[in-house]
A and B are shown apart, each in its own frame.
Chain A
Amino acid sequence: MTHEKMILAIVTTKGETVAGGAPIFICQTKEEMEQIAANLEAILDGIAHELSEGLLIIVKH
């Protein structure tokens, strides 16, 4: 199955605000969140988008 666009992962410091099918990475600090998002971006060939303060999603375009 191929998807044109999909959320590959969610990286957040506010675990209580997210839920759903994509893998969720809950982090303690902003730095940790950015570190994980940068790694995921490189691993998954996706782009990290910021939805709100403390909530990043990795999207495949």
Chain B
Amino acid sequence: MNEYTFPILYGVAAGVLTRLYLLRTDYRQYPTYLHGRTIHIALGAIAAGLGTVAVPAIMEKEFAAITFLALAASQFRDVRNMERNTLNELDQYELVPRGKTYIEGIAIVFEGRNYLVIFVSFLSTLAYLVWNVWAAVLASIIGLMAARRFMSGSRLKDIADVQYVKPHFEGAGLYVDNIYIMNIGLPARREEILRYGMGFILTPKNFNARTTIANLGQRQAILHDVSTALGIYRDSGTPALVPLAKRDLNDGRVGVFILPQVEDVEKAKAVIENVPVLESAIRMPAKRRWKRRGGGGDDA
């Protein structure tokens, strides 16, 4: 036992708690089960340890110890690769795949969370050593709030309005509102589609949102989330029953066609509204900082 024991223990505990707090799971997230969680909690503990010991290392003028943080960075990059590979493998067996953009989003989040844990642990231990345990508690709470803020992305309802429209056929063409989805040749399939199918129109709220929901990865994420939450009326070998999202080229609205097993329009709408906006799908063509010689401006 020495003067650093309690601060270090406290820092590690704060870090692990942060990781647990950020590891909220719900129906569509990975990991949902015990072993997947164990991996992330264990990595969280390692991250917390690294963040914590950096403080005594600085205080003891052991600057070489800080280089461990670089090691940590490469370790957590591996975490990202691991998540990406796992999810890519699993994705091949999904009836409605997540898509690479969604997978990349999840992998980034897992890497990012470990860095946030390092940050919280570092702050907590620093506060403990510089002031006292109460300052450390305060620092942890502030760190936790900051972590939460960084980790909460926006949802689809923030960038688009979702509206239910019953799909219909014009000849062999399947339409959601006036957006053409696909051509279905067999009358029996058409009946199934009219019986189970649901259509939604996503109207982007501004020009940036228009480009974001046009992203194929973002659209696939919507289809995946709805299909996971409400089930899907299809099996392997029935490509005609694939849910699709198509775009109206004139005004950027997106027509989403899904075949849920649970026929509940309100629920489906709620699920679509809560689909996360994927970081890699976000585009901001209307928000650009540009500088001219002798002046600056913002055209957004």
- Contact indicator per residue, chain B 204-248, by CB within 8 Å of chain A (1) or not (0): 000000000000000000000000000000000111100000000
* B 177-194 contacts with A by CB, 8 A: 182-189
**Is B171's CB within 8 Å of the partner chain A?**
yes
In Å, the complex CA distance between A47 and B186 comes to 9
**Is B172's CB within 8 Å of the partner chain A?**
yes
- Contact indicator per residue, chain B 149-189, by CB within 8 Å of chain A (1) or not (0): 00000000000000000000001100000000011111111
Specify the main secondary structure of chain A where it touches its partner.
Answer: mixed
In contact, A34 and B187 (Cβ under 8 angstroms) = yes
In contact, B188 and A50 (Cβ under 8 angstroms) = no
Given A37-B186, A38-B186, A38-B188, residue A47 in contact with residue B172 (CB < 8 A): no
In contact, B237 and A47 (Cβ under 8 angstroms) = no
In Å, the complex CA distance between A41 and B183 comes to 14
In contact, B185 and A50 (Cβ under 8 angstroms) = yes
In Å, the complex CA distance between A56 and B187 comes to 12
A36 to chain B, nearest CB (A): 10
* A 38-52 contacts with B by CB, 8 A: 38, 41-42, 45-50
**Is A3's CB within 8 Å of the partner chain B?**
no
In contact, B239 and A47 (Cβ under 8 angstroms) = yes
In contact, A46 and B186 (Cβ under 8 angstroms) = no
In contact, B239 and A49 (Cβ under 8 angstroms) = no
In Å, the complex CA distance between A20 and B238 comes to 26
In contact, B237 and A49 (Cβ under 8 angstroms) = no
Write out the residue numbers on chain B whose beta carbons fall within 8 Å of the beta carbon of A48. 184-186, 189, 240
User: Which residue of B has the minimal Cβ distance to A60?
Assistant: B239
Given A49-B172, A50-B171, A50-B172, residue A56 in contact with residue B239 (CB < 8 A): no
In Å, the complex CA distance between A61 and B242 comes to 11
Write out the residue numbers on chain A whose beta carbons fall within 8 Å of the beta carbon of B238. 42
In contact, B185 and A45 (Cβ under 8 angstroms) = no
In contact, B239 and A45 (Cβ under 8 angstroms) = yes
Write out the residue numbers on chain A whose beta carbons fall within 8 Å of the beta carbon of B189. 48
Write out the residue numbers on chain B whose beta carbons fall within 8 Å of the beta carbon of A45. 237, 239
In Å, the complex CA distance between A49 and B171 comes to 11
In Å, the complex CA distance between A50 and B170 comes to 12
Write out the residue numbers on chain B whose beta carbons fall within 8 Å of the beta carbon of A49. 172, 183-185
Write out the residue numbers on chain A whose beta carbons fall within 8 Å of the beta carbon of B172. 49-50
Q: Residue among A37, A41, A45, A47 with the most chain B CB within 10 A?
A: A47
In contact, B183 and A50 (Cβ under 8 angstroms) = yes
A55 to chain B, nearest CB (A): 9
B168 to chain A, nearest CB (A): 16
Query: A residues bordering B, Cβ < 8 Å?
Result: 34, 37-38, 41-42, 45-50, 56-57, 61
Query: B residues bordering A, Cβ < 8 Å?
Result: 171-172, 182-189, 237-240
Given contacts A42-B237, A50-B185, 19 further A-B contacts (CB under 8 A): A34-B188, A37-B185, A38-B186, A41-B186, A41-B240, A42-B238, A45-B239, A47-B184, A48-B184, A48-B185, A48-B189, A48-B240, A49-B172, A49-B183, A49-B184, A49-B185, A50-B184, A56-B186, A57-B185
Give the 4 A-B CB pairs with smallest separation, nearest first: A48-B185, A50-B172, A50-B185, A49-B183
